[in-house]
Chain A
């Protein structure tokens, strides 16, 4: 056994001189790490779900629109059919085929939906049913009837809140009135607007997302019917929404599409650009979580500092004896750092086991937050109220490392204190 091993032995045995104190510290540090892992798991899982739901209720991970649409919101800005077919062709090539899960062209406009009982302003979205199924969350949120299909050209799908307002049910007739979209080739010489158009539709499905803004405002109808109603010729659409296999590929796909569509008057946006509010909310949530975790880590750090410092101060006389016997200051510091590292190692093992166990439970069974949102989800947020924890290896390594580093750095002060034990003052303490 070398003197280094002796120091390790002394450090380890010193830990158990006060087992209650050691176990309390292990509990505090371990719970700190466990809390860090659990909160990061739920945060990442929640964000992943929120993004997944948000993009599937909105413009997808990547959206291609006519240039200026994002800023103006003008429904008259349309994508030519050629662009749509270029996109559809491109996503079928090479790696894009593996990265892109679905492509859905959409035509968007405002309208007035009337039933025999009531009328409401709505956002109209014309879609190709089988394409939209691969991209949108709405087909999965149908609570009555069925989603649109290609053989029912005059079907309409609307939200539960809107159906309640209009007092309609499956099979009910509704009239959708819109103003035909002005297009360059349909403009008259005196720039007169095209007149109002209306069409009779039959309710084929009712969905419920839990989001009031969606359930009370949005209606889906077949793209063909929407184009006809809005007077849009030549297969033009407002946007093409892409759903990807992985959210992280969004910038990559957007860049590839920008390159592919170079020269066309289009804008290719990732969800962070097309849904800036969602991105900001998630960013704020991240920042708040980091602050919370920082506070918890600081408390855990102070706990470690207090434990180790108390142990050092209690043993000034012992350190004095060691120094008198010939132990060098750096060896005394080594004993204290070794003690702190051993304490941290036990704490981290406990914290890791606890944190990963709870994470596993939340990853498989989920954390049900429906009791928090009994009155409905906040309008700015879109997420499933059952949170599933997601922890990447990076997150685990990061959490583990930060607690370990913090504990190690914190132990330097008590170690310095031990190393600076003054002789013979220390020997006079008893």
Chain B
């Protein structure tokens, strides 16, 4: 029996600006299995980021059910959502979003610190991960002293280090050159294979879509197509 990392049932979300209503998601239902390496694609305004925000508990749907790691997010308080994000979900943002006042190592161990993981264990985990994703020797550098690709790897390390059930990446390669983007995808795919962590990322980039094992295309807030292309298959309800 398939175990679902994410399950959406009839999710709707409409943004309101004064009298104007902009539907972002219209009755979206979707299942993503544990360990999938899935991408959402679509033109601007198609609902990619909204979908990731709702799955990550950063935003709330107007209606429907969102199940992540066995919990219905619609029923959780904001404190419970914060706890779920800290314990079970990792985020990678388009603009890296490292804390500029912390070093690469401190940024990567930020979420571990919030989880009160002891110092030695924290350092061991981060250093191991840094070596694995090619950041060895850069531990003490501040974000401003790293290239875009290095910063995004640190962001991936920060998302991965807590061993979350799910990683959400919003256009992670959008600010990277082609070679760096491929290198980052290598890292993410390697981690996906090695740890079985579920990855969902949004993208415009055809080469990222190529690498996804499942490609969910959105248009006008609805799933236009759901294509399994690799080792795991997705399920469109």
A interface with B by C-beta (< 8 Å): 1-3, 6, 9-10, 13-14, 17, 317-318, 321-328, 331, 423-424, 427, 430
Q: Tell me if A's interface is mostly helix, strand, loop or mixed.
A: helix
Q: How far is the CB of B155 from chain A (nearest CB, A)?
A: 10
In this assembly, does B100 line the interface, its C-beta being within 8 Å of a C-beta of chain A?
yes
The size class of the interface chain B forms with chain A is: 20 to 34
In this assembly, does B130 line the interface, its C-beta being within 8 Å of a C-beta of chain A?
no
Option from B95, B100, B114, B119 in Cβ contact (under 8 Å) with A325: B114
Q: How far is the CB of A60 from chain B (nearest CB, A)?
A: 64
* Residues of the B chain whose Cβ atoms lie less than 8 Å from the Cβ of A423: 53, 58-59
With A and B bound together, what is the CA distance between A10 and B114 in angstroms? 13
- Are the CB atoms of B101 and A1 closer together than 8 Å? no
Option from B53, B56, B95 in Cβ contact (under 8 Å) with A430: B95
- Chain B stretch 79-128: residues in CB contact (< 8 A) with chain A: 79, 82-83, 85-87, 91, 93, 95, 97, 99-102, 106, 110-111, 113-114, 116, 119
Can you list the 10 inter-chain pairs with the closest CB atoms, starting with the nearest?
A326-B86, A13-B101, A321-B97, A424-B58, A423-B58, A6-B113, A326-B85, A424-B53, A424-B59, A3-B113
- Are the CB atoms of A1 and B53 closer together than 8 Å? no
Q: How far is the CB of A299 from chain B (nearest CB, A)?
A: 29
Given contacts A10-B99, A321-B93, A325-B86, contact A3 B53 (CB under 8 A): no
Option from B82, B93, B102 in Cβ contact (under 8 Å) with A326: B82
* Residues of the A chain whose Cβ atoms lie less than 8 Å from the Cβ of B119: 1
Beta-carbon nearest neighbor of B162 in chain A: A326
With A and B bound together, what is the CA distance between A326 and B53 in angstroms? 14
Beta-carbon nearest neighbor of A423 in chain B: B58
Option from B59, B100, B116, B158 in Cβ contact (under 8 Å) with A2: B116
Given contacts A10-B99, A17-B100, contact A427 B58 (CB under 8 A): yes
Option from B91, B95, B100, B116 in Cβ contact (under 8 Å) with A324: B91
- Are the CB atoms of B113 and A322 closer together than 8 Å? no
Q: How far is the CB of B203 from chain A (nearest CB, A)?
A: 17
With A and B bound together, what is the CA distance between A327 and B158 in angstroms? 14
* Residues of the A chain whose Cβ atoms lie less than 8 Å from the Cβ of B100: 17, 318
* Residues of the B chain whose Cβ atoms lie less than 8 Å from the Cβ of A324: 56, 58, 85, 91
- Are the CB atoms of A1 and B102 closer together than 8 Å? no
Beta-carbon nearest neighbor of A321 in chain B: B97
Q: How far is the CB of A77 from chain B (nearest CB, A)?
A: 78
With A and B bound together, what is the CA distance between A221 and B163 in angstroms? 98
Q: List 22 A-B contacts (CB under 8 A).
A: A3-B114, A9-B102, A10-B99, A13-B101, A14-B101, A321-B99, A323-B82, A324-B58, A325-B85, A325-B86, A325-B111, A325-B114, A326-B82, A326-B86, A326-B87, A327-B82, A328-B79, A328-B82, A423-B53, A423-B58, A424-B53, A424-B59
